[in-house]
Structure 1
């Protein structure tokens, strides 16, 4: 059989108390160029950003930014803001130009930043997510640190709005308001188009993560809940809370749920550099009994967009593209 491969816990609360004195130039820059931020570094008054871990006050426009999560690197890339330091262990394909860039300091692992290297980057702003939240106190002693309040355990709670709000907040910080608004509008249009296509469709979907031969399923209350709540995809199977790591399931579970669509996230390929899954390597008699398999609606999702990131503008665009592959007759 030939199968097409088609390839906190609260919503973000960000308060910008004052407006910026001047706008910087907009558009993409090279990963290390400082030209975009050179002009008018001082604000008319301090900017205060409230997030789950505290309130971060910025007295002037940051010139050297360390981003400790790939989502944050993508936000900066979207706004043309240079990156002074970032982890280099797992860089998604859509940020290829940042891989081993000699002028960008490698800050260690995404889940365990090297604080000495972060300090050596001489940042005046550090961006983190919940993966680095345990280091917030130490990082804040190095430079002002902002936590991205995205909820990876239950993303149904305004996930897409959180992404747009964070984008707009960073736009204000860096004098890129107009560009940030355009990027947010692009996301709005993409989401609206996806909801229009999906809303009247009866198909039910299952999201499964494949890891070394084992499966985990993700429902509406999970890291991929936004696929159901934000995009309107209908869920197949029980709606148990599945959180960050999903609920372990078997091929029998998938066969009994009998989804019309199966989205497969290949964790082993991206985290362990193993050969990517294919129809042949995934094939088994139980999966062949599902509507998804019979109707050629097993979608091998972009694992770097879904697993490494999933909470940034570029990754959300790629995830929506993957989701819509199942609805094209």
Structure 2
């Protein structure tokens, strides 16, 4: 009888240990094993915030963070699909809840998704308190127009949240090495550049301190005009201005390609005035990938594309 009791007791203990082991592992969802009841403190744009580790249901309102999550193999449950960059087109799939647009998203759908974490950027700042009532909010996005520093910081934060720090370090190391190669060649050639945006017939320029300051501060191009206003939508310019400044490289972002405008940016840009510039004569008018540069945000895939544009421009690839 005593032996039988011991055997039964052993079976009960083994079963209990098995159950405890399963609960410690957490639940598997969205490509990661959720660490139940485990949290981590990170610093976002509002300061220190405590968020869950490997959250099961993640709502993402920031394409830069979505981009980073894609690289890390972590899936969201819901996102705004209104202006998804082509390199994130896989998220148009119906298995992801469509929340609308970056600025006009559906709060009821966010709530219905039962998120464990909500990730936002500057466009949703006004909704921060409302979203915080639903789930912990991580406020990332771009700080001080520096998408490179912001992407690095955001990737490190998300690496901690999703236990993917090693993968983040590898991605950042690769991007930084490529960036240094481009910058070294640009500075060696002492090249000047003018960053412009073409928007349905209007033209604007971006200089130091602007949202495209990276052309000068990260890639090493010399600005052709240090007095360009650092306005959000750039400083309005004319084709005569481009002829006068005569840059070695003319970088063109076609915003119409994002909004659906059909005007030919190349036909408009390469007119008789622009054809007199060094940029045209040397084949250095560069039409950058608009989605990565304009809506991609501070993401690893966006930066990869931006660096690729510069590598192509200066003949590295």
Q: 1:94 to 1:125 in 2, by over 3 A?
A: same
Displacement of 1:140 in angstroms is 1.0
Kindly provide the CA deviation profile for residues 242-274 of structure 1, in whole angstroms up to 9, marking residues without a partner as x: 232111111111111111111100001112253
Residue 282 of structure 2 is aligned to residue 295 of structure 1: yes
Mapped partners of 2:268, 2:213: distance in 1: 27
Residue 302 of structure 2 is aligned to residue 311 of structure 1: no
State how 1:270-281 maps to structure 2 within 5 Å. 270-274=258-262, 277-278=265-266, 280-281=267-268
Q: Is the contact made by 2:53 and 2:162 (CA closer than 8 Å) also made in structure 1?
A: no
Displacement of 1:179 in angstroms is 1.1
Q: Is the contact made by 2:196 and 2:204 (CA closer than 8 Å) also made in structure 1?
A: yes
Residue 220 of structure 2 is aligned to residue 235 of structure 1: no
Displacement of 1:209 in angstroms is 0.4
Moved runs in structure 1, 4+ residues, more than 4 A?
none
Q: 1:71 to 1:59 in 2, by over 3 A?
A: closer
Mapped partners of 1:141, 1:40: distance in 2: 22
- Normalising by the residue count of structure 1, what TM-score does the alignment of the two structures yield? 0.83
Residue 132 of structure 2 is aligned to residue 140 of structure 1: yes
Give the aligned partner of residue 262 of structure 1.
250
Residue 37 of structure 2 is aligned to residue 37 of structure 1: no
Q: 1:214 to 1:275 in 2, by over 3 A?
A: closer
Displacement of 1:35 in angstroms is 5.1
Q: 1:173 to 1:233 in 2, by over 3 A?
A: same
Displacement of 1:163 in angstroms is 1.2
Structure 2 counterpart of 1:57, from 16, 26, 50: 50
State how 1:113-128 maps to structure 2 within 5 Å. 113-128=105-120
Q: Is the contact made by 2:206 and 2:213 (CA closer than 8 Å) also made in structure 1?
A: yes
Report the secondary structure of 2:228's partner residue.
coil
Q: Is the contact made by 1:221 and 1:240 (CA closer than 8 Å) also made in structure 2?
A: no
RMSD of Structure 2 on Structure 1 (CA): 2.2
Kindly provide the CA deviation profile for residues 261-308 of structure 1, in whole angstroms up to 9, marking residues without a partner as x: 111000011122535523x34332211111111111101110011111
Report the secondary structure of 1:200's partner residue.
helix
Unaligned runs of 5+ in 1: 1-21, 25-32
The higher-RCO structure (CA 8 Å, 6+ apart) is 1
Unaligned runs of 5+ in 2: 1-23
Number of paired residues? 292
